[in-house]
Amino acid sequence: MIDRVGMTLLWTGEIIRFSPGQPLFVEGDERDTSGCILLDGDVTITREGGDPVTCTAPELFGEMHQLEETAQRTATVWAATDAVVLRFDWHEFITAMGLLLTQSEQIQLKEAFLHLTQRRRKGQE
């Protein structure tokens, strides 16, 4: 399963470089349906009413937007250093996973995203 997930991300994504201070995502944005895998560098996550959290590559971002009922970005993610990300569209990724993974594998993948989301929320509280 991991190989199919990884290949799909590579096929549907693009490598983007960010300079320090550039935003990857902006809190409250409803239009952006992308996700990012931080391949190199550090980012800072800020959220209204929360303390900043710094994350180092490798890390996945943008999954909370897919899991939230409001479909809004729940935080702003800034490049803290020069950063390299693999940016992909969640809709394309989910469609491909529906074709390439068994139902059991789809459930495993969703549970992995939920676990990541819960871990990150605990770090931001």
pLDDT in tens, 75-114: 899 999 999 999 998 888 888 888 989 999 988 888 887 7
Of residues 11 and 18, the one with the higher pLDDT is 18
CA nearest to 47, candidates 19, 68, 31, 33: 68
pLDDT at 40: 97
Distance CA 50, CA 5 (A): 32
pLDDT at 32: 77
Structure confidence by residue, pLDDT tens digits, 36-66: 999 999 999 998 888 898 999 998 887 765 5
Q: Does the pLDDT of residue 68 top 60, yes or no?
A: no
Among 1-15, 31-45, 61-75, the least confident range: 61-75
Number of Cβ within a 10 Å radius of residue 111: 10
pLDDT at 6: 85
